[in-house]
Structure 1
Amino acid sequence: MKQSLEKLLNHKVDHVHFIGIGGASMSGLASILLHNGIHVSGSDIASSENTEKLRAKGADIRIPHNTENIDPSYDLVVYTAAVKSDNPERREAQRLSLPIMERSDFLGLLTRTFEHTIAVSGTHGKTTTTSMISSILYEGGLDPTVTVGGHVDVFNGNYHIGENRFFITEACEYVDSFLKSFHKTGVILNIEEDHMDYFENLKAIQDSFKKFARIIPQDGYLVVNGDSPAILDVVTDLPCTLVTCGYGKDNRYQARKVEFDALGNGHFDVYKDGRFFESFDMVIPGEHNVLNALCAIAVSDLHGVEKKAMKTTLSSFKGAKRRFDLVGKEKGITVIDDFAHHPTELKATIKACKNFDHNNLWVVFQPYTYSRTYYFFDEFVASFAGADRVIINDISSDRETNQWDIADEDLSIAIQKNLQIPAVHLSTYAEIVDYLMDHVESGDLVLVAGAKTIYQTAYSFIERLKKQ
C-alpha cells in the first residue's frame, strides 16, 4: 500500500498527520496506515476510545488541536470535514506548504490501492449494511480490509486489516464526497432528501448518485433497492451490471415471507431470479434491515460467498454499535439506543420497536443540525406517530450556526399539538434521566435516538435503574 500511495501522490509517504483523528472514519484510515508501516500522528479536541486505541498501536496522539502539532517533516496532512479552515493545524500546514487533503479525498485515494473496492451508499443504512457485507465476506474467507462508521462485533472495532484485494467502505453523498471513490461494486440502499444545506433539491441528490453509479466499470456491479422509484430513475444506461433487491417480484433478489417474533427477530426467504435461494434468520428488527440484509446477500453472492457463511453471519449479526442496540433491561424496562437522526430512519426505528412486547413506547430524541430540523420539521413531527411519550433534547449542531431561527422546543410543541402525544423539551441529559426515572414504568420500552452523544442518557438511565 505504501508504494501505491507514493506512486499516486508522486512523493514519499513516511508520515501522515490526521486532524480530527478520533472520528470513526479517520481512526480507521489511520489504523490501516499504521498496519502498512506508515508513521501516524494526529490530534483531536478530546481523548476517546478511538484515540487511545491508536495510541496503544504507536500513533502519536495530541490533545487538543494546536499549531505546535504540525511538523514540517510530515509528508501528508489529512483533515476531517468538521475541521474548518480556521483550525490552527490546517493553517499551519498551509503556511508550511505541506501536502494537505480532506478525508474523503484521502479515502478516494486509498480505494485506488485495492483491486476491488465495495462502496455502500444511501441516505440511510450505510453503516449497518457495510457491517453486514464485511462480516459475511470475512466469514466467507475473503478477508476484506474494512473501514466503517460504527463498531462491528466480529472486528471488535470500526475497521479490519485484511488482504489487499477487497476494500469495503461506506460512501457518503454529503458534499459529493463519494464521487472521489474508485469502486468496482457499488450499493445504493435508498435516495431521499437530506443534507439540504448542500443539495438544492431531490433532483440534485439523484444527480449525485447517478455520478456515483457511473464510476463503476463495465465489469463491476451496482446493487440497488429495486423498490425505490428514486433509485430506478438514476440507474439507467449504466456500463456496469445492475442488480436489484427488494420485496417486489421484479427484483433479482426478492424477500418473501418476512416475519418477526415477539423479540423482534426476523425470518425471511430469499428468491433469486424467481427461484428459491435460501431462508435467513436475523437478530435485528425492522423491515428496513431485511432490505439491508438482502443487499448484503446479493453483494456476497455476486462475489462467490457460500450461503452457509451468509446464514451464519446474519443469524448472529447484532448490528453495528448504536444501530438498535439493546442497552439493557432493568426493573422490567427495556432501553434501546439508535443512531437515527433523519425522519425516515426515526420512523423505521419506532416501527421496529413495535415488534417488541411492551406497554408504553418512550422516544428520547436529539435532533442533529439546525438545517435538517428546519427542512424536515413536518416529517420529524409525523415520524413520532408511533410513540406514546416523547422527550426532545436540544438541537446538536457542530458544523453550522442557527441560521433558520428554529428553537429547541419547537419540535416538542408541534408533536403535542399535531399528534396529541405527550411531549416535553429537556435541555440537559441529567434532566432527561431524572424525568425517565419519575415517569417510566415496568413494561415500558425506551428508545434513545440521535447522531451525537444522546446515547449517554440510555446508559445513565440503566445505571440509575440498577441502583433503584
Structure 2
Amino acid sequence: MNKVPFYGASIVCLDDPNIQEIIPHISRKLITYGFSSQADIRAAEVLVEPRGTSFSCYIDGKLAGKVCLRLHGRHNALNALATIAVARELDIDFTAAAATLAEFAGTDRRMQRIGTAHDVLVIDDYGHHPTEIQAVLSTTRDAWDRRTIVCFQPHRYSRSQLLMEDFGQAFYQADSVFVLPIYAAGEDPIPNVTSDALVTSIVKHGHKEVQTVDDLEQATEALSKIVKPGDLVLTLGAGDVWKVARDLAKRLSDGSIRIGPDSTESPAKASVKGV
C-alpha cells in the first residue's frame, strides 16, 4: 500500500484484523470503512430482510443518509461502504452513490433467487470457500429465518484437502446438508479427499443432518423428498450445482413434486455412505 501514488489512496475495511495489524505501517493516504465506530465511512442500524439490506451511513462521524440495497447480507453492506468511499474520492456525492447502489440488482449466482413455489424458496450461490459459505448461511438466516436445506458441491480436490477442517465448521446454520462429489475443475483426484471425507469432517464438528449424494439428479430427488412449505433450499458451489436449483424450482413450479405440510421422508441424518 505504500507504493500507492501520492495522489491516490488505499480503501480498507477497518473490521478486518489483518488490516488492523498493518495500519501502523502504512504511510500513504488511508480511508477506512466498516461497522467499527472508528471507521471513516461506517454502517449502523443494519437491517437484513427479504427485500434486501439497509443501513444508516456515517461519513467522518456525521450521518450522510440511508442506503437501501437490493442485495442481502452484512457483507454486501460492507461492499456498499467501499463503493461509497471510492465514489467520494471521485467527487461523486453521497446521494448519487446511494441512488445508484439502490438500483444494482446483483450478479448471477450470488444469492440468486431461482424461484418460489408452494412457499419453498430456492436460492443459488457461487460460494465454495468456508468463509463464503458461512456468510451466505448467516445472510439467509437473517433475511428469511426459514428451515434451510443445503446442497453443497465441493470445488477442487486441492481446496477440499487444504480446508477440510474449515469446511467441517462451515455449515452450522444449515438445518440439513447434502454433499455432492467434488467438482474436479481439471484437477486429478487426491487419495482420501472425497465428499465422504468432507461429510465426516462436518459430522465430527457436530452437525447432525448431513449425507452424501451421488450426482445432480440424486441431489434433486433427495431434496424433493424432504422439502415442505416454508423451507429455503440453497445450492452452493462453483461447479454446476446450479442445475439442481433450477431443476428443483422447475419441478416445484410445474407440480412434478407434490409437497404437503410434512416431508415425505426424514431429513438427511449424519451419515457417510459405505461407512
Normalising by the smaller structure, the TM-score range is: 0.7 to 0.9
Aligned residue number for residue 194 of structure 2: 407
Q: How does 1:53-68 map to 2 (within 5 A)?
A: none
Aligned residue number for residue 106 of structure 2: 319
Contact 2:41 2:81 in 1 (8 A): yes
Q: Structure 2 residue aligned with 1:223, among 11, 14, 20?
A: 11
- How far the C-alpha of 1:235 sits from its partner, in A, is 4.7
Quickly say closer, same or farther: Cα 1:414–1:307, change in 2 above 3 A: same
Q: Structure 2 residue aligned with 1:232, among 20, 37, 56?
A: 20
Q: How does 1:64-103 map to 2 (within 5 A)?
A: none
* Structure 2 counterpart of 1:251, one-letter code: A
- How far the C-alpha of 1:317 sits from its partner, in A, is 2.0
Q: Please say which of residues 356-365 and 446-455 is displaced more in the overlay.
A: 356-365
Aligned residue number for residue 387 of structure 1: 174
Contact 1:268 1:280 in 2 (8 A): yes
Contact 2:152 2:236 in 1 (8 A): yes
**Alignment of 1:283 onto 2:85:** no
Share of identical aligned residues, percent?
Answer: 28
Structure 1 Cα separation of the partners of residues 202 and 62 of structure 2: 46
Q: Please say which of residues 303-312 and 323-332 is displaced more in the overlay.
A: 303-312
Structure 2 Cα separation of the partners of residues 244 and 380 of structure 1: 30
Contact 1:358 1:443 in 2 (8 A): no
Q: Structure 2 residue aligned with 1:373, among 150, 160, 180?
A: 160
* Structure 1 counterpart of 2:36, one-letter code: G
Aligned residue number for residue 340 of structure 1: 127
Aligned residue number for residue 329 of structure 1: 116
Highest RCO, 1 vs 2 (Cα 8 Å, sep ≥ 6):
2
Aligned residue number for residue 200 of structure 1: none
Deviations 1:427-458 (A, max 9, x none): 21111111111111111001111112111111
Q: Please say which of residues 396-405 and 365-374 is displaced more in the overlay.
A: 396-405
Tell me how large the CA RMSD over aligned residues is.
1.8
Structure 2 Cα separation of the partners of residues 444 and 215 of structure 1: 50
Aligned residue number for residue 30 of structure 2: 242
Q: Give 5+ residue unaligned stretches, structure 1.
A: 1-212
Structure 2 Cα separation of the partners of residues 451 and 372 of structure 1: 12
Q: Give 5+ residue unaligned stretches, structure 2.
A: 256-275
Structure 1 Cα separation of the partners of residues 22 and 240 of structure 2: 35
- How far the C-alpha of 1:214 sits from its partner, in A, is 4.2
Question: SS where residue 354 of structure 1 aligns?
Answer: helix
Question: SS where residue 465 of structure 1 aligns?
Answer: helix
- How far the C-alpha of 1:399 sits from its partner, in A, is 4.4
- How far the C-alpha of 1:244 sits from its partner, in A, is 0.7
Question: SS where residue 267 of structure 1 aligns?
Answer: strand
- How far the C-alpha of 1:306 sits from its partner, in A, is 2.5
Q: Which has the larger radius of gyration?
A: 1
Quickly say closer, same or farther: Cα 1:404–1:226, change in 2 above 3 A: farther
Aligned residue number for residue 230 of structure 2: 443
Q: Structure 2-normalised TM-score?
A: 0.87
Contact 1:218 1:239 in 2 (8 A): no
Contact 1:374 1:404 in 2 (8 A): no
Aligned residue number for residue 350 of structure 1: 137
Question: SS where residue 327 of structure 1 aligns?
Answer: strand
Contact 2:48 2:74 in 1 (8 A): no
Structure 1 Cα separation of the partners of residues 189 and 19 of structure 2: 32
Deviations 1:254-274 (A, max 9, x none): 11111223x152221111111
Count of residues in Structure 1 that have an aligned counterpart in Structure 2: 255
**Alignment of 1:464 onto 2:241:** no
Question: SS where residue 314 of structure 1 aligns?
Answer: helix
Aligned residue number for residue 260 of structure 1: 48
Quickly say closer, same or farther: Cα 1:240–1:414, change in 2 above 3 A: same
Structure 1 Cα separation of the partners of residues 56 and 96 of structure 2: 16
Contact 2:69 2:102 in 1 (8 A): yes
Quickly say closer, same or farther: Cα 1:221–1:364, change in 2 above 3 A: same
* Structure 1 counterpart of 2:39, one-letter code: N
